[in-house]
Amino acid sequence: ILNVEQSPQSLHVQEGDSTNFTCSFPSSNFYALHWYRWETAKSPEALFVMTLNGDEKKKGRISATLNTKEGYSYLYIKGSQPEDSATYLCAFSGGYQKVTFGTGTKLQVIP
């Protein structure tokens, strides 16, 4: 079983603050890194899929970067809003292996 770690486990920020969290994964045999957002009482939804070292993706106030050589990805949220409150999951895929999910970072944005 591959080791995919996310930090911090949980995070409380004030509305308007910017924040970031980390996903660490094996640096060998990389194929893709996915970010998902999982809001309470809803299904996880895909945010980004990243495949190349140095990839940067952006969707509105949320962006992500990827470093496959050192095995990490950052997710950034600029100007956090209460609707950003969710658990953010990363998922690592290596070659033709199955995807391995991290334990998630639970974000709560306080109005």
Stretch that binds another protein, among 19-27, 60-68, 77-85, 89-97 (CB under 8 A): 89-97
Task: Select from 95, 36, 102, 108 the least CA-distant residue to 72.
Answer: 102
Binding test (CB under 8 A) with another protein, winner from 89, 105, 107, 109: 89
The residues, any chain, with a CB within 8 Å of residue 86's CB and separated by 6 or more, are 37, 38, 39, 40, 106, 107
With beta carbons less than 8 A apart as the criterion, state whether 8 and 20 touch: no
Binding test (CB under 8 A) with another protein, winner from 21, 34, 88, 107: 34
Binding test (CB under 8 A) with another protein, winner from 11, 57, 76, 99: 99
| Token couple for 60 | 């509105």
Rule CB under 8 A: which residues touch another protein?
Answer: 1, 4, 31-32, 34, 42-46, 49, 89, 91, 93, 96-104
